[in-house]
Amino acid sequence: MPAHLVSLLLPGVLGLVLGEAFLRHQIEALQRALGSMTFIVVEALGALLIDFPLAFLSSLLYLALTPGTGPAREGMLAGARFLTTFLLLVALMAVLRRFTGRFDVAGLHAAVRTSIIAARDGLSWRFPLMMGLFLVADYLLCMLAGLLAYQTLT
């Protein structure tokens, strides 16, 4: 059980720190140029630059700390477990932010809120559809990172 916690929480917390440090600046820089597409572009960049490498790291840690790991599907499941844990950590931070401002260190909440409102207004009914498709693609990307981690260790 400790291997699961270490391999999920360590990269997850690192992802929160990276998100707080960079996402607000990306949103502010791209908002004028991209308008309603800002949130989706920033999320795609986050998936490629934060989620994928951290899912690889998480899967690598899990597979290295768990002796006798079975087939390649274990690597893919480790990538999916990472993304689920990461999304739960992000949701927890959003909930905790409602009670105290300490969890909005870099002012990310206001920037994300502005970009979500712009996306919802500009894309109307397409926005939830695009976000659903993005979530599926993000899971597949993290599963691919887990498979890559498995192949790296074997």
119 close to 38: Cβ distance less than 8 angstroms: yes
Per-residue pLDDT band at 144 (split at 50, 70, 90): very high
Query: Which residue range forms the structural domain that includes residue 49?
Result: 2-153
Burial class of 119 by CB neighbour count within 10 A (0 to 12, 13 to 18, 19+): buried
Amino acid present at 153: L
For residue 63, give the H/E element and its range.
helix 52-65
- Answer yes or no: are the C-beta atoms of 51 and 138 closer than 8 Å: yes
- State the Rg of the chain over Cα: 16
Report the length, in residues, of the chain.
154
pLDDT above 70 covers a percentage of the chain that reads 93
pLDDT band at 24 (very low <50, low <70, confident <90, very high): confident
pTM of the model: 0.87
Most confident of 4-18, 102-116, 137-151: 137-151
130 sits in which H/E element? helix 126-153
Count of domains for the chain: 1
Q: Which is more confidently placed, 103 or 48? A: 48
pLDDT the model gives residue 105: 58
Is the pLDDT reported for residue 1 higher than 60?
no
**pLDDT tier for residue 106 given thresholds of 50, 70 and 90:** low
Q: Higher model confidence: residue 93 or residue 34?
A: 34
Per-residue pLDDT reduced to its tens digit, 31-82? 889 989 999 999 998 899 889 999 999 888 888 887 776 777 888 998 999 9
Token pair for residue 61?
């840690």
- pLDDT for residue 96: 81
Say which DSSP state 39 is in. H
First to last CA, the chain: 22
